[in-house]
A and B are shown apart, each in its own frame.
Chain A
Amino acid sequence: MKTIYLDTDFKCHLTDDGTMTAIETDFFDGKCDTYIEGYRYVPAGSTWIRLDGETFTGEMIAPWVDWQELDTAQREYEREQYQSLTEENETLTAENAEMIEAMAAMVDDVYNQDLTQMEE
């Protein structure tokens, strides 16, 4: 569930300029900022009149920016997210390997110390 803000033309924004209406919706879960701000959200009980005079009654959600542009932005966002998670995973894997190596070295040290003490 995400909170978005609607201007007087029902266009979605991520931040409130002090005049907007806050709406909670799950429609944009997982969507990037560009995608969200390319949409118009007409809440239930509201009416939006399009430039050509057509009337739309809420709840209606539709892009006002060409959806394929928004989809491209979303795909890029998801690619970056995947890349970021992959890098994070690689870092964690490397850190994990270092820790295992360090633990192995510690075990070796203890074993060698014990062995030395036993020989003495």
Chain B
Amino acid sequence: MPIFNMISGGGGTGGTLTVTAPANTTVTISNGDKTKSKTSDANGTAIFKGLETGTWTVTITNSTQTTTKTIYITADYAMTIAFFAATIAVTYPSGSTLTCTDGATTLTATTTTGSYTFTVPNTGTWTVSCTNGSSTASNSVSITTDGVSVSVELSYALWLAPSSFAYSTYNHIYGSPSVSGDTIKISYTTPSNYSGEYSENVVTFNDAIDVTKYSELQATANITKISDTAGSGRLTLGVASSKPSSYSKPSAIASANAASSTGTQTLTVSLTSVNKAVYVYVSSAICKATVTDIKLIP
């Protein structure tokens, strides 16, 4: 769309510039040391007469935004100028503080209702963030053109604290899992009469959790033993379509196994292609460990 149009062939000096801008906005034009300023009327029109031929800069400003266009006047001109306006509609957990920034400009939502639309003043990468206590979530969007509207949904990680979920444990004679507070503790004792058989210690959440809006499952494991004379052990974080119901190895949709080394490590499972309710579980064999911070991350 052209930003100005020649409306008559007045020519030479003394041209008239008709600016169509947002109503009641300050319109300033300048050419070298010449500057004129007017406020657009209720129709958004500001007219400048007697302008000499040359390059003029037209600027509109309000309390938050400025937009500038440069035109070359040789006759009467009409032009339209508007503030840049793109919107980012955000859905976020209500009660949270919501901000939107491109690094230079930071906008803050004036409500905490869970739904807010930012009008951003320029193109660029805008990061939308919400916080509530220690919970944070953010997402970035690219605004490339004037007038676009984009939507962003923010949600916090869902912490699967065993203490706040119903859970079941299934254990084998050579080990046992237990839950204390928000920690899953997996014990294991090397059997004195090991017969070559072992099976799983399983802790599973009793209720299926819809993971459609989460992209990964994560947990922190602190392993103190993961092999012995019985062989190499294993610690698995996974999701299953049916609830694991015995001390046999769960049939996983997706899972992550800890590295075969002691110490603290993070287990992360990608869930981007798992769009259903699933049972989250931790299982182990020949392993002594604690598992904490089980969470679903958007």
Report whether chain A binds chain B: yes
Write the residues of chain A forming the contact surface with B, with a CB cutoff of 8 angstroms: 27, 38, 40, 44-45, 50, 52, 54-57, 59-68, 71
The answer to whether A63 and B252 have CB atoms under 8 Å apart is no
Q: Choose among B253, B255, B274, B275 the residue that contacts A60 (Cβ–Cβ < 8 A).
A: B255
Q: Name A71's closest neighbour in chain B (CB-CB).
A: B241
Contacts of B252 in A (CB 8 A): 27, 61
Contacts of A65 in B (CB 8 A): 273
The answer to whether A57 and B274 have CB atoms under 8 Å apart is no
Write the residues of chain B forming the contact surface with A, with a CB cutoff of 8 angstroms: 215-216, 241, 252-257, 259-260, 266, 268-276
Q: A50 CA to B270 CA in the complex, in Å?
A: 9
Known: A50-B272, A63-B274, A68-B275. A44 touches B253 (CB 8 A): no
Q: Name B258's closest neighbour in chain A (CB-CB).
A: A59
The answer to whether A67 and B273 have CB atoms under 8 Å apart is yes
The answer to whether A67 and B276 have CB atoms under 8 Å apart is yes
Smallest beta-carbon distance B169→chain A, Å: 23
Contacts of B215 in A (CB 8 A): 52, 54
Q: A60 CA to B269 CA in the complex, in Å?
A: 6
The answer to whether B253 and A67 have CB atoms under 8 Å apart is yes
Q: Choose among B257, B270, B272 the residue that contacts A59 (Cβ–Cβ < 8 A).
A: B257
The answer to whether B256 and A44 have CB atoms under 8 Å apart is no
Contacts of A44 in B (CB 8 A): 257, 259-260
Q: Name B270's closest neighbour in chain A (CB-CB).
A: A62
Q: Name B266's closest neighbour in chain A (CB-CB).
A: A57
The answer to whether B254 and A61 have CB atoms under 8 Å apart is yes
Known: A54-B216, A60-B256. A68 touches B271 (CB 8 A): no
Q: Name A40's closest neighbour in chain B (CB-CB).
A: B270
Q: Can you give 22 contacting A-B residue pairs, CB < 8 Å?
A: A27-B252, A50-B272, A52-B215, A54-B216, A54-B270, A55-B268, A56-B269, A56-B270, A57-B259, A57-B266, A60-B254, A60-B255, A60-B270, A61-B255, A62-B255, A62-B270, A62-B273, A63-B274, A65-B273, A67-B273, A67-B274, A71-B241
**Which residue, of A45, A56, A67, has the highest number of chain B Cβ atoms within 10 A?**
A67
The answer to whether B268 and A56 have CB atoms under 8 Å apart is yes
Contacts of A56 in B (CB 8 A): 216, 256, 268-270
The answer to whether B259 and A62 have CB atoms under 8 Å apart is no
Known: A44-B260, A54-B215. A63 touches B273 (CB 8 A): yes
The answer to whether B253 and A63 have CB atoms under 8 Å apart is yes
Contacts of A68 in B (CB 8 A): 275-276
Q: A38 CA to B274 CA in the complex, in Å?
A: 12
Smallest beta-carbon distance A66→chain B, Å: 5
Q: Name B234's closest neighbour in chain A (CB-CB).
A: A59
**Which residue, of B215, B253, B270, B276, has the highest number of chain A Cβ atoms within 10 A?**
B270
Q: A67 CA to B254 CA in the complex, in Å?
A: 9
The answer to whether A60 and B273 have CB atoms under 8 Å apart is no
Smallest beta-carbon distance B215→chain A, Å: 7
Q: Choose among A45, A62, A66, A71 the residue that contacts B254 (Cβ–Cβ < 8 A).
A: A62
Contacts of A40 in B (CB 8 A): 270
